[in-house]
């Protein structure tokens, strides 16, 4: 029997032959692909010829081609359409692949060839893209410790493995605290809560066998409770429990783990030759240095704090009107803010939905790409991994550009959230390879014969993921390692968040946001309320976010604090955090930072990207045309087609003629003076 994952794909646009692939094919295909990759890498490392770019760096680019092809299919279906067999395979593959990755970066002969090329780089006559790929490849090895030997190498290995244990422990402690706490609600405690909260409280009570409705620390229950419960005493108890996660003493307390994690990260950075862990982490980011991150956050801090303080006065007045004396407390903010929102911005979601049909929003996202970049989208039939999946052939001037795959509906086999992945990435080293790009969402599937309807958040998500898809589809580079979205983490959300702005263009909404039954465009008042709702309570949201982002940064930018809680208090004290606002995530439950190091000294990056998307779209506003052809062309030539072939800051400068400023973000968040 031949394995369909390993044979050429004779399908439309060489799509994976999903109808022929069985779950039992994955493990043998991964095994074969890993052994092929190991053989290729050994051949490169042991090549008797002197190193050249082609026989070393370019050869490495191609060494894992089969593995990439098999895993692209596997992780595509494992995320979007899982089953117990695929979950078991994921558990099996993860240690195999991480061991393989470590083996490659620890291959001394291989690194010696790369280092040799690096020292001779100015004499190699490399193209700009080749020089970039060499730099990134070497940097990847160095950052994993390839230059260390002896006790330093041993110590780095020990530090990394202890950090992995600490990250897992942190997560498990947090889950235990979230699982253990509950607050029983008597029937009279339910008064004033909306039906959906009461239903959720009853369901949680039944699930936990508590004999009645309860509030748990699940975000989907505790946040609505803080938002809607008129009972101040209950809100206070709920808020205290919510903010005490990870610091309840005993076996699940995370404070000592946080201190040890920060100390070991500092040591890891020192072993690798960096001043601090933040210097190490930010080296690969567009921000580059802790100072640049601090500057950005502090520029937004003052206007955000001013806006939050003005809001706090309005909310305090509502509190006093309820006959409660004294200051507004953190457990009051969401409740009074919700009251104010209902009075000022009430938006009837049920009346809005018929105007946001999934199919019209897909058309809208395509129509914008046609106007901006000349892309055409033609549906076609081909092999798919689930009957809900739809395929489009993407062309420009008759030339095939990509296959776009849309998988929009929620189902039990799909993980939550929304994402974009390339099942095949664009590159030119192995021939002119066109990408297969998938957008996965979790929109509610309608009853048969009814149109699928979206919330405004859903529609934004659709545009967001399509922005990532454009970054993959318009990619025009030679080397796969820098293709499409293979860019710095604080740059990768620029194309996606930028694309969300086209949904807000009045001409787009008036053409595509039309009523499912009558075909009438959305009434102006509803449209205004919908757009205004997006910036409501931004002072609060910005303040709680920046407080967390700055604590994350300062923890990693200086010497590791012996007592992180004390350091956190100092940082917040210096900032002057308003009394009624807490951190979005405090240290003992800051999973972004302590569950692993993915977002450590990186929590700022959400705002970094938002600064850029607001500033980039402002270029179109300044041009007076959201579809300005010259700007659209420049956006493609710089940001969207270059992948990681050029430094992110340089790409942005090429597009905008300068680095981004915070003015457009402040305006977009309603924080401008
Ligand atoms: Zn995104």
pLDDT score of 390 more than 80: yes
Cα(658) to centroid of ligand 1, in Å?
Answer: 24
pLDDT score of 488 more than 80: yes
- pLDDT value for 470: 98
Can you tell me the mean pLDDT for 190-211?
90
CA distance 614 to 501: 8
For the record, the structure tokens of 303 come out as 């206007």
Q: Give me the catalytic one of 465, 500, 504, 636.
A: 465
For the record, the structure tokens of 173 come out as 């402690």
Cα(72) to centroid of ligand 1, in Å?
Answer: 19
Characterize the bridge pairing of strands 399-409 and 436-443: parallel
- pLDDT value for 598: 81
- Compute CA distances 198 → 189, 210, 481, whole Å: 10, 15, 50
Q: Which residues have CB under 8 Å from 584's CB, separation 6+?
A: 544, 545, 547, 548
What does pLDDT average to over the chain? 94
pLDDT tens by residue, 305-357: 999 999 999 999 999 999 999 999 999 999 999 999 888 877 777 888 899 99
Can you tell me the mean pLDDT for 17-26?
97
Cα(404) to centroid of ligand 1, in Å?
Answer: 17
Cα(324) to centroid of ligand 1, in Å?
Answer: 43
The DSSP 8-state label assigned to residue 386 in this structure reads S
The CA-CA-CA angle for residues 370, 375, 380, to 5°, reads: 115
- pLDDT value for 1: 65
Cα(418) to centroid of ligand 1, in Å?
Answer: 8
Cα(113) to centroid of ligand 1, in Å?
Answer: 36
Q: Which residues have CB under 8 Å from 311's CB, separation 6+?
A: 337, 537, 539, 540
CA distance 186 to 90: 43
Q: How many CB atoms lie within 10 A of CB 636?
A: 18
Is residue 378 helix, strand or coil?
Answer: strand
pLDDT tens by residue, 132-147: 999 999 999 999 999 9
Cα(285) to centroid of ligand 1, in Å?
Answer: 16
Cα(248) to centroid of ligand 1, in Å?
Answer: 34
- pLDDT value for 415: 85
- Tell me whether residue 504 is one of the annotated catalytic residues: no
pLDDT tens by residue, 593-603: 998 888 899 99
Cα(458) to centroid of ligand 1, in Å?
Answer: 13
- pLDDT value for 179: 86
**Helix %, strand %, coil % of the chain (to 5):** 60, 5, 35
Is residue 178 within 8 Å of residue 245, measured between CB atoms? yes
Can you tell me the mean pLDDT for 430-444?
95
Cα(468) to centroid of ligand 1, in Å?
Answer: 7
pLDDT tens by residue, 552-566: 999 999 999 999 999
Is residue 247 helix, strand or coil?
Answer: coil
Cα(626) to centroid of ligand 1, in Å?
Answer: 21
Cα(160) to centroid of ligand 1, in Å?
Answer: 28
For the record, the structure tokens of 426 come out as 């664009």
DSSP letters spanning 88-109? HHHHHHHHHHHHHHHHHHT-HH
Cα 357 to chain centroid, rounded: 25
Q: What is the signed CA dihedral for 443, 377, 515, 457, rounded to 10 degrees?
A: 40
**pLDDT band, residue 178 (cuts 50/70/90):** confident
Closest to 285 measured CA to CA, from 118, 529, 25, 488: 488
């Amino acid at each position: 029997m031949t394995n369909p994952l390993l044979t050429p794909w004779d399908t439309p646009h060489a799509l994976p032959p999903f109808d022929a692939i069985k779950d039992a094919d994955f493990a043998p295909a991964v095994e074969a692909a890993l052994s092929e990759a190991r053989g290729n890498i050994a051949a490169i490392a042991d090549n008797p010829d002197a190193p050249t770019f082609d026989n070393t760096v370019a050869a490495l680019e191609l060494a894992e081609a089969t593995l990439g092809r098999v895993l692209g299919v596997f992780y595509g279906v494992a995320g979007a359409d899982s089953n117990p067999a695929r979950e078991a395979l994921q558990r099996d593959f993860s240690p195999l692949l991480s061991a393989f990755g470590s083996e490659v970066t620890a291959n001394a002969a291989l690194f010696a060839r790369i280092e040799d090329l690096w020292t001779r780089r100015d004499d190699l006559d490399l193209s700009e893209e080749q020089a970039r790929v060499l730099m990134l490849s070497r940097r990847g090895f160095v950052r994993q410790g390839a230059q260390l030997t002896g006790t330093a190498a041993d110590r780095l290995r020990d530090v990394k493995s202890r950090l992995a244990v600490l990250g897992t422990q942190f997560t498990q402690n947090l889950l235990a605290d979230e699982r253990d706490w509950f607050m029983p609600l008597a029937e009279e405690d339910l008064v004033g809560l909306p039906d959906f909260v009461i239903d959720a409280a009853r369901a949680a009570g039944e699930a936990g066998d508590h004999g009645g409705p309860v509030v748990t620390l699940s975000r989907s229950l505790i946040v609505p409770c803080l938002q809607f419960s008129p009972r101040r005493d209950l809100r206070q108890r709920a808020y205290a429990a919510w903010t005490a996660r990870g610091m309840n003493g005993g076996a699940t307390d995370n404070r000592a783990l946080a201190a040890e994690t920060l100390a070991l990260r500092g040591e890891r950075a020192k072993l690798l030759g960096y001043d601090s862990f933040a210097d190490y982490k930010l080296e690969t980011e567009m921000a580059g240095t802790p100072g640049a991150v601090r500057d950005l956050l502090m520029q937004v801090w003052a206007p955000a704090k001013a806006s939050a303080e003005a809001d706090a006065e309005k909310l305090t007045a509502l509190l006093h009107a309820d006959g409660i004396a004294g200051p507004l407390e953190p457990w009051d903010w969401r409740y009074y803010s919700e009251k104010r929102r209902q009075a000022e911005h009430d938006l009837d979601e049920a009346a809005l939905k018929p105007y946001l049909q999934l199919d019209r929003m897909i058309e809208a996202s395509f129509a914008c790409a046609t106007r901006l970049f000349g892309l055409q989208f033609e549906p076609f039939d081909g092999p798919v991994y689930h009957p809900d999946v739809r395929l489009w052939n993407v062309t420009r001037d008759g030339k095939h550009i990509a296959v776009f795959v849309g998988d929009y509906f929620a189902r039990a086999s799909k993980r939550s959230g929304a994402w974009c992945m390339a099942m095949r990435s664009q590159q030119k080293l192995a021939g002119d390879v066109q990408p297969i790009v998938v957008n996965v969402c979790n929109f509610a599937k309608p009853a048969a014969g009814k149109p699928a309807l979206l919330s405004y958040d859903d529609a934004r998500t659709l545009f967001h993921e399509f922005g990532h898809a454009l970054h993959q589809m318009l990619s025009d580079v030679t080397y796969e390692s820098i293709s499409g979205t293979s860019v710095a983490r604080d740059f990768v959300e620029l194309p996606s968040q930028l694309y969300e702005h086209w949904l807000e263009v009045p001409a787009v909404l008036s053409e595509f946001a039309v009523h499912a039954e009558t075909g009438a465009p959305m009434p102006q008042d509803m449209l205004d309320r919908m757009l205004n709702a997006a910036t409501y309570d931004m002072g609060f949201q910005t303040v709680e976010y920046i407080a967390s982002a700055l604590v994350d940064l300062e923890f990693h930018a200086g010497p590791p604090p012996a007592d992180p809680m004390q350091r956190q208090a100092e940082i917040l004290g210096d900032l002057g955090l308003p009394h009624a606002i807490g951190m979005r995530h405090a240290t003992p439950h800051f999973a972004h930072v302590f569950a692993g190091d993915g977002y450590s000294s990186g929590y700022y990056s959400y705002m970094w990207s938002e600064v850029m998307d607001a500033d980039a779209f402002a270029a179109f506003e300044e041009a007076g045309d959201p579809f300005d052809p010259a700007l659209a062309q420049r956006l493609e030539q710089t940001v969207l087609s270059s992948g990681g072939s050029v430094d992110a800051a340089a790409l942005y400068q090429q597009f905008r003629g300068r680095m981004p400023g915070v003015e457009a973000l402040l305006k977009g968040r309603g924080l401008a003076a």
